[in-house]
Every structure is written in structure tokens, then in C-alpha cells.
């Protein structure tokens, strides 16, 4: 009878140790998942900022071309009004 109770005690200790190990493993796994989520969130925020910054740069570039296009159109209208090409050098 002593042998059976001793076996139960050893079995109970092993079960507790297994539960403790499983809990530690689950805790470590959960910490890894939390860290990955934080990194993913940080990366997502960085990507969002980069995309937003890219949109700002792209809209500035569009504005630049919009305002530069107008003088180019006026220049072509001016050239069509005066078909004679002017010489930049003056003969002596």
C-alpha cells in the first residue's frame, strides 16, 4: 500500500511539474507573440508614415508640374505668335 501511495505522489509531482513547464512555455510563447505584435504595429506605423510622406511629396511634385506647365503653354503661344526666330548674337 505504501508503494501505491508513493507512486501516486510521484505521479502528482510529475503532473505538477508538467503543468508548471507548460505554463512557463505558454507564458514565453505569449510574450513572443506580444513582442511580434508590437513590432508589427511599429512597422505598420512606420509604413503608414512613409506612405503619407510619399503622398505629400507626390502632391508637391504634381503642384510643381501644374504651375510649371502654365508658363510652358504661354511660351509656346508666344512662339506661335512670332514665327520669326530672333538671333541672340548681334552682327557687328
Full-model pTM: 0.36
Other CB atoms within 10 Å distance of the CB of residue 24: 10
- Domain positions in the chain: 15-55
Per residue of the chain (92 residues), give pLDDT as tens.
445 555 566 676 777 777 777 777 778 777 888 887 777 777 777 777 776 776 777 777 777 666 666 665 666 666 666 655 555 555 55
Q: Which three cell numbers stand for residue 10?
A: 510521484
- Residue identified by cell 505558454 is 26
Amino acid at each position: 500500500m505504501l508503494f501505491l501511495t508513493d507512486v501516486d505522489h510521484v505521479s502528482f509531482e510529475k503532473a505538477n511539474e508538467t503543468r508548471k513547464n507548460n505554463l512557463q512555455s505558454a507564458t514565453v510563447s505569449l510574450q513572443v507573440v506580444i513582442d511580434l505584435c508590437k513590432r508589427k504595429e511599429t512597422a505598420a506605423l512606420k509604413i503608414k508614415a512613409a506612405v503619407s510622406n510619399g503622398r505629400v511629396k507626390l502632391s508637391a511634385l504634381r503642384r510643381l508640374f501644374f504651375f510649371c506647365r502654365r508658363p510652358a503653354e504661354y511660351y509656346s503661344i508666344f512662339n506661335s505668335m512670332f514665327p520669326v526666330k530672333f538671333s541672340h548674337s548681334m552682327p557687328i
